[in-house]
Structure 1
Amino acid sequence: MVVYSKDKALMCKVFPSSLRPVAMRWFDSLKADSINSYKELTQAFDSRFITHRRVARPLSSLLSLSMHEGETLKAYSDRYWEMFNDMEGNFDAMAFDTFKLDLPTDHGLRMSLFGNPVTNMRQLIDRIENYKRVEEDQQQGKGKDKVIP
């Protein structure tokens, strides 16, 4: 769209090519000659789809998370990263601290993060993935019937 930004008439013609199916159905339902300019088109689009915009979460939402009793590390980390990714700004350093503090005090990952702190996001994610694999292996081992020869 940026390529055509100087030619507003062409922008109106190219606009539909950037739409996904739901927005395309909305666009196709517009009455002929109901839009007179690119500005009107973008305003109509914004007013129709404003509810689908993601709102950045404040830092306090990350601080309010904690791992629930009985929750798997995978479920907790999925919730945590979903919220972290909804935040605007660079809170990597905060992620190191809040993730480990929100784990139960006796959790192996928490003890590992306190004993051997991570220094970047990749290290944190790698450490979490390692502990998730261990947790999944333990859960699979519990579900199997032991065969005694």
Structure 2
Amino acid sequence: MAVSSKDEALMCKVFPSSLGPVAIRWFDNLKADSINPFKELTQAFSSRFVTCRRVAKPLSSLLSLSMQEGETLKAYSDRYWEMFNDMEGNFDAMALDTFKLSLPTDHGLRTSLSGKPVTNMCQLIDRIEKYKRVEKNQQQGKAKDKVIP
């Protein structure tokens, strides 16, 4: 559609090819000649399907996260990164600090991040992955201890 963006008539004809079943039903039910310029069509579509839009999370959402008692590092980091990815803007520097501060004070990863701070997202993710592997190995060791021969 970007190639034909100057030809409104063509844009209106091509537009339905990008729609799913629910949206195509809506489009098919529009009265003939009820919408003239392509801009009107996109506005009508947006107002009808506004619930499908992804709303960016505010920075306070990230600041309010913390690892819960009994939660695995994997579960927490998955939750953290999902929230982080829902935010608009560049909050990488904030993520470097908030992830550490959201961990329990006695967590090995927090101690590691305090002793040897990371300076970029790749380092943070690498360090998290290292501690997730340690946690997984510890859990597997506990599971073996529970097996009765």
After TM superposition, the score normalised by the length of structure 1 is 0.88
Comparing 38-47 with 3-12, greater Cα deviation is found at: 38-47
**Structure 1 residue runs of 4 or more that deviate by more than 4 Å after TM superposition:** 145-148
- Which amino acid counterpart does residue 29 of structure 2 have in structure 1? L
Shift in CA distance, 35/126, structure 1 to aligned 2, threshold 3 Å: same
| Number of the residue aligned with 1:55 | 55
Q: Write the distance in 1 (CA, Å) between the matches of 2:22 and 2:118.
A: 43
Comparing 15-24 with 58-67, greater Cα deviation is found at: 15-24
| Number of the residue aligned with 2:68 | 68
| Number of the residue aligned with 1:3 | 3
Q: Write the distance in 2 (CA, Å) between the matches of 1:23 and 1:142.
A: 51
RMSD between superposed Cα atoms in Å = 1.8
- Which amino acid counterpart does residue 45 of structure 1 have in structure 2? F
Q: Write the distance in 2 (CA, Å) between the matches of 1:9 and 1:66.
A: 52
- Note the C-alpha offset of 1:40: 2.6
- Note the C-alpha offset of 1:88: 1.2
Comparing 96-105 with 38-47, greater Cα deviation is found at: 38-47
Aligned pairs for 1:62-141 (under 5 A) are: 62-141=62-141
Q: Write the distance in 1 (CA, Å) between the matches of 2:58 and 2:143.
A: 40
3-state secondary structure, aligned to 2:3: helix
Comparing 136-145 with 91-100, greater Cα deviation is found at: 136-145
Q: Write the distance in 2 (CA, Å) between the matches of 1:87 and 1:147.
A: 48
- Note the C-alpha offset of 1:67: 0.5
1:71-100 Cα deviation digits (max 9, x unpaired): 111111111111111111111111010000
- Note the C-alpha offset of 1:31: 3.7
- In structure 2, the gaps of 5 or more residues are none
Shift in CA distance, 21/122, structure 1 to aligned 2, threshold 3 Å: farther
Task: Among all aligned residue pairs of Structure 1 and Structure 2, give the percentage whose two residues are the same amino acid.
Answer: 79
Shift in CA distance, 131/18, structure 1 to aligned 2, threshold 3 Å: same
- In structure 1, the gaps of 5 or more residues are none
1:11-33 Cα deviation digits (max 9, x unpaired): 01111232344433433x42451
Q: Write the distance in 2 (CA, Å) between the matches of 1:35 and 1:130.
A: 56
3-state secondary structure, aligned to 1:131: helix
Q: Write the distance in 2 (CA, Å) between the matches of 1:61 and 1:11.
A: 39
